[in-house]
Structure 1
Amino acid sequence: MRLAIQHETTYRYESPVQYSIQQLRLTPSNASGQLVRQWHVEAPGKLDTSVDAYGNTLHTLVLTRPHCEIRLRVSGEVDTLPLHDGRLGELVGGVPLEHFTCATRLTEANDGIRALAGETGALDRPAGLIELADRIRDCVAYEKGATEVASTAADALNAGKGVCQDHAHLMIACCRVRGVPARYVSGYIDGGDAPQTASHAWVDVWLNAIGWVSIDVSSGEFASDRYCRIAQGRDYDAAAPVRGTRIGGREERLQVTVRVNADALQ
């Protein structure tokens, strides 16, 4: 499948920002089931390129002149292939598996998460991951705007509602309680009749007999050729598409538009 992707992020500020630095993880890489045909990132300044510890392409934007707006535009095409039961296989990024068993602020387990993790059967096969994903959705209904970007897995479980980021963090937290390596994935999906889901988050789980298995908790299915992965890490903070800090600006307004169009490969 060929995915044509357009992503625009605009920050507007109430007063001029004197200094800002943004870290962009907005560039896909060639990986299992994914081939980047073309990709372009446009920003209002020079982008310094590097690769982070997880193998993600990282662009750093530093603006030292006063500005009231930052507009980031991304566009490109990626060819994708189906993944059998979400199987990626390889260990991308060179980070030891043990790193993905350690809790983070966003995936710290409380009593509720430990109970949820204990209610699911074996997590050594793909079917067990689907069972856990279904259980998570039973506990946390999808509701746009129900949580914030800084909300934790425990926050979402306590509220009983959340979005794909929360579902992913809960899956990761449950896997880590069971000693199973799991990592967060940010990217895009062909949402069909639900274009608002085009910017998405899902999870990779390591199964010893298989390798990495990619699963979309919010839909209860394995990630496959409708998905374009952009970045991976221990949680959202490590794989966020855009993160930054600034001096000045006062109130901030954010506008994000993402479009994904899919065509079958000939």
Structure 2
Amino acid sequence: MFSAIKLLIARRFPSLLQGSNRKFDSYAASRQEIKAFSNAAEREIEKLFYFHSGRCIHKWAHYLEVYEREFALLRGATIRFLEIGVSEGGSLELWRRYFGEKAIITGIDINPACRSRVDPPNKVRIGSQTDAGFLADVVEEMGGPLDVILDDGSHVASHILITFNLLFPRLRTGGLYVIEDMHTSYWAEIFGGGYRRKGTAVELGKTLVDDMHGWYHDNGQEQLDKTEIASVRFYDSILVIEKGNVAEPRHIKVGSDE
């Protein structure tokens, strides 16, 4: 959840993070809440998370239901899963246990220390999420196109958009592009956000909704062609874009007219 960029800034310029930290820290679960969450865990992803004893994982509690809803059908399959942002490496362990041994799972991060925060068969590659050549090499190594791309990287608005433009074309038809921690879209400090500010992940999602409905307006498509977007799903702080091969819609009438 905390990217290498944010950690570096926090160490060198802690005052810059005070505003966003106050917002963020106010949502931290208490020990009693964590115990209640773990006792109520029913979904497989919840059980794997709350009883995890490996490397540190830091997630919002409500993300777990989203993961189960979006990823459950992929369990046990030979999928190619790329996570941007490795942090302490715990989430890669979680994905391995959840998806199973057939999955090809790779994490990328700009922090060289993340090389040591992975166990085979998972892999970590060090580089920038805005480096086109680096990303292309990672996808090729994974045997792309990819099935799931999860951006939990810098959370900087401009980085998210660049990465989306570079990687969405490398997603298979039917694949999922997931952007996490979209609440940073509202935070100007560090992340380049702001309420309804153009260029954030939230505004990207809104644009894609318009693009998806390009069949019905004459304003063109700003981000993607309408044929590429099967669905755009908003959750609290998570955006899921399903890549499609969408045919021109047709309305159909059946039954007899009175």
* TM-score w.r.t. length of structure 1: 0.23
Q: Which has the larger radius of gyration?
A: 2
Structure with the higher strand share, 1 or 2 = 1
* TM-score w.r.t. length of structure 2: 0.24
Structure with the higher helix share, 1 or 2 = 2
